[in-house]
Amino acid sequence: MDDLKKAILDFAENNKKSKFYFSDMEKAVKVEFPDAKARDVKKAATALVNEEKLIYFSTGSSTMYGLKGRGQTEDH
């Protein structure tokens, strides 16, 4: 779990874009951990949201993830 969390943060920090889809995050994690299941990646991402390291970004119809403090930080 901690390994997955670190992989997610590495991906988020090094991503060119400040917002990304779950599936892109999952693919990046799977490069390092090919056996990781989508559900495990999701659990790790949820934990990071609860630790206030990741944030959700929603248009209302679809949702992306982002690194807290990067890109859009205000709620405007």
As a whole number of angstroms, the distance between CA 48 and CA 51 comes to: 5
Q: Report the interface residues with other proteins, using CB under 8 A.
A: 21-24, 26, 38, 41-42, 45-46, 49-50, 55-63, 66, 72, 75-76
Question: 2 near 47, Cβ under 8 Å?
Answer: no
As a whole number of angstroms, the distance between CA 70 and CA 66 comes to: 7
CB of 56 to other proteins, least distance (A): 4
CB of 71 to other proteins, least distance (A): 9
Q: Which is nearer to other proteins, 9 or 47 (CB)?
A: 47
